């Protein structure tokens, strides 16, 4: 399965699961995200990006501060995400993908 197809699959899972982190497919989405990340790191090391780096880049490109991302939480929550102390949940992934008009998979 091609990487693009995998990312489309994870996008569809995110759309189906919505904000329900207890959805029966939530664990499949997490596993698939990990597999995609591992595959990309192994086969495309020069293009593999870390999700925090992507978020920081997008924030910089749009001139945003931590406090501007209230849709994913307080400034403290955003700080924890950017410092790698907290992972993004499904609701936050969807909010960021809508804000920046990118696939949620870029943050996995």
Domains and CATH numbers, the chain: 3-107 (1.10.260)
Write out pLDDT tens, residues 8-66.
787 888 888 887 888 998 888 888 878 877 777 776 654 456 888 889 888 988 999 99
pTM exceeds cut of 0.75: no
pLDDT of the residue at 57? 86
What does the block give as tokens for 39? 């595959």
> Distance between CA 69 and CA 49 in Å, rounded?
21
Smallest CA-to-CA distance from 36 within 19, 49, 55, 18 is with 49
Angstrom CA distances, 100 to 20, 25, 39, 81, stand at 22, 25, 25, 17
């Amino acid at each position: 399965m091609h990487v693009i197809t995998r990312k489309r699959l994870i996008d569809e899972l995110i759309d189906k699961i919505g904000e329900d982190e207890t959805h029966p497919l939530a664990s499949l989405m997490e596993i698939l995200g990990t597999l995609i990340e591992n595959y990309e790191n192994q086969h495309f090391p020069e293009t593999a990006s870390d999700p925090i780096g992507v978020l920081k880049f997008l924030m910089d490109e749009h001139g945003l501060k931590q406090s501007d991302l209230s849709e994913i939480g307080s400034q403290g929550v955003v700080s924890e995400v950017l410092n790698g102390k907290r992972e993004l949940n499904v609701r936050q992934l969807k909010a960021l993908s809508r804000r920046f008009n990118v696939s949620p998979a870029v943050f996995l």
